[in-house]
Amino acid sequence: MTPSSHTLYNQCRILTAGLALVLASCQTAPTLQPDNIDTILGEMTTEEKIMLVVGAGNEEFTGYGNTKKIVPGAAGTTAPIPRLGITPTVLTDGPAGLRIDTLREGESRRYYHTGFPIGTALACTWNTELMQQVGEAIGNEAHEYGLDLIFAPGMNLHRDPLGGRNFEYYSEDPLLTGKMAAAFVKGIQANGVGATLKHYAVNNQETNRKDVDIRIAQRPLRELYLRGFEIAVREAQPWSVMSAYNSINGQQCMESRDLLTTILRRDWGFDGMVVSDWAAPGWRDSGKEIWAGNDLLAPGSEEQRQEIAQALHAGKLSEADLDTCVRRMLRFVTRTPRFQQYAFSNAPDLKAHARRSLEAAEEGIVLLENRNQTLPLASSVKRVGMFGIASYNFLAVGTGSGNVKTPHTKNLEEGFALVGIQTNAKVAERYRKVIADSLARRSNDPLGYEAMPEIAIDDADITASAEEDDAAIITIGRSCGEGADRRADTQYRLSQLETEVIEKVCNAFHAKHKPVVVVLNVSGVVEVASWRTKPDAVVLSWLLGQEGGEAVCRMLKGEVCPSGRLSMTFPVAYEDCNTHDNFPYDFQGPKAIGNYTKIPRNPAIKNVHYTDYKEGIYVGYRYFDTYGRRVSYPFGYGLSYTQFGYADAQCKALPEGGYEVSVRVTNTGNCAGKEVVQLYAPVRDLKHQLIGFGKTRMLKPGEAETLRIRFTPRDLSYFDETQNAWVLAAGDYPIEVAANSRDTKAHTSLHIEADKVLEKVAGKL
């Protein structure tokens, strides 16, 4: 179309749309109701249909969404069509709590929202009941602040330890991911607001995320990267799924009918709406996105509306395909609180939610090392010397769309005060001054802030602290976020300065026969093998939300018995990961966020323009355990202050289908605690994979509970690429009842008589 004809076309389109609206206004139009969607669809003009499937847009496109419309700071809104009773809806981030503005123009009050632990920390609870309660709290805040849809949970796999967005995601395992996500979705949607699974699919790297092609075989695609989404769709019926930026085998996710319609809807039965990730015009073909099954193009722009109109005019997009998306959008609108005229209060119970955040933080902490029962700290420990910037500037959440503007963030200094332990004021003052100077230089950033650089501490201060204090705490801080992957040299490995602080503090305190504890306030896996034997205890706190400092100190004092277990493997060295040759761990190009410039493809750059998933099904523990590779900590690992015995493990088939393993778990130690029980079984070509898990209630010393963990034939099956089907192979299946993937406590088994095709699927990428 020439520029002149394009202008003429637009003028005609505007005149036609205007005439249609005038004529429509002369008649009494029906009003949208849940039971008259097809009637409303029949009344809509083409212009109105296009308005509904393209977001209302931000005043200024920022790439991450920060609208001032309706609820300030929300990620975006949908367009209203008042003549038909179609109300706007408000869409918000995120996975660790809402991301909206706390300050509003002309008002003095603050609209705070609770900061919860990051997704990885939540997954390390292995507690689906608690996960659902966290979802309920976040959903309630959305409901009371007038929001309709939450862009959470994030649930791509931790394919590689350096994935920049791993902190938002749950695990390297799809079963754990799917089960935790399903519980989270159920909790959110119990409030009558929607949840969104993201980013669908195979969005495992941030580097060039809008323009990278993921090359992957069908079996790992189905068994690993789609499986968690499938579980959450089938078990929780989310209102929405967000399509990813990247391509899969040459098909862009947002333009892939195979992915968004055939697999998601036909194979899995998804009945909600699909929203695009925040895409600027020029990156995608808007008409093709609608054809593929993207029901809402977000955040929305006039250029996208024009592209859809042009696609209809050129015959590249049918009215029927547009109507399909419009119908789903109308159904979505009718489900929302805003459509149902809910009188939101703007006053959620933040105190109750803070308590829930604290509980989740306590269960997400993983105790990695505890030599000589250093923890819990002895009653003789009255004062500690705290080292490391993060001890005083404790990191709560990640950056990007997973950021939360919390009402407060409790650091370790505040946490120790709450449990009755003093901290060395002289050492603290040195760190406080540096932190204050750094904060004064910061400009406002709605995406949140990176961790502050570590500082050197005088040897004399360390020596004096070892003389005066009863124990030392060293905190290592690492943040990360949307837009870039982590680097092996600076974010996986500790810096020379950090290792020197550990060395010097350990030497000084051990010379006085006093313990040293390292706290890892980190967003992802870090290297531990080179230094973990130096301190007496190592605590993996993750980023624990606004109550994190209190949670850690309650655990150090012994008021909480650690029950967190790793949702990923800690390798000895990054190079031990079989993904490292096919991951951009050292890329130093532009940050992949916002409206960034495309990286030229001449030539195409490995792991930037394309990434080959050559490892196939061997990701995380599936690789390390199958091939017997050394690790620092295995998948599912975590220590406790007590011990547990396992007995009477049995497996039985259930009359309604599926299987159940029962096992009696007894607290054989000296303090109350919870245990995570994990079931593993061999699946074709794999030593084993997780097929089920459960967590006990709080068991007192000597108390027992019989856990009953269910799993399905699909949990034991593999994806046969030749048949495009899930197959359960015949044979004996030894089942490991385990404390982690390398610590089996009891055994049981089941027998499958003959090979069985469980489900043939239609989709193929």
pLDDT of 30-86, one tens digit each? Answer: 999 999 999 999 999 999 999 999 999 865 444 456 788 899 999 999 999 999 999
Distances (CA, A) of 376 to 88, 373, 467, 522: 52, 7, 21, 21
Task: Check if the beta carbon of residue 138 is closer than 8 Å to that of residue 152.
Answer: yes
The token pair at 650 is 């049995």
Tell me which amino acid residue 160 is: D
With CA atoms as reference, report the closest residue to 756 among 738, 730, 720, 723: 730
Any idea which residue has 């503007």 for tokens?
405
Residue that wins the pLDDT comparison between 530 and 23: 530
Q: What is the pLDDT of residue 17?
A: 52
**Cβ contacts of 166 within 8 Å, gap of 6 or more:** 120, 158, 480, 523, 524, 525, 568
Can 295 be counted among the known catalytic residues? no
pLDDT the model gives residue 6: 47
Instruction: Give the chain's radius of gyration (CA, Å).
Output: 27
Distance, in Å, from the CA atom of 477 to the CA atom of 548, rounded to the nearest integer, reads: 13
β-partners of residue 474 are 387, 518
C-alpha distance across the termini of the chain, in Å:
33
Mean pLDDT in residue range 362-380: 98
Residue 510: CB atoms within 10 A of its CB come to: 16
Using CA atoms, how far apart are residues 452 and 392, in angstroms rounded to an integer? 11
Task: Tell me the per-residue pLDDT of 382-404, one tens digit each, with 9 for 90 and over.
Answer: 999 999 999 999 999 888 888 88
Q: Are 396 and 546 in contact (CB under 8 A)?
A: yes
Spatial distance between the Cα atoms of 128 and 180, rounded to a whole number of angstroms? 6
The alpha carbon dihedral of 205, 209, 212, 214 has a sign of: positive
State residue 5's pLDDT score.
45
- Whole-prediction pTM value? 0.95
Q: What is the pLDDT of residue 62?
A: 45
4 confidence band (pLDDT: 50, 70, 90): very low
Give the whole-angstrom CA distance, residue 200 versus residue 188.
Answer: 19
pLDDT of residue 64: 53
| Catalytic, out of 173, 267, 277, 536 | 277
3-state secondary structure string, 595-611? CCCCCCCCCCCECCCEE
Q: Which residues of 434-460 are buried (b: 16+ CB within 10 A; e: fewer)?
A: bbeeeeeeeeeebbbeebbebbebeee
Token pair recorded at residue 729: 């192979």
Give the residues across from 251 on adjacent strands. Answer: 248
Distance CA 348, CA 561 (A): 30
Q: Which tokens sit at 675?
A: 């245990």
CB contact set of 40 (below 8 Å; sequence gap of 6+):
30, 32, 84, 85, 86, 330
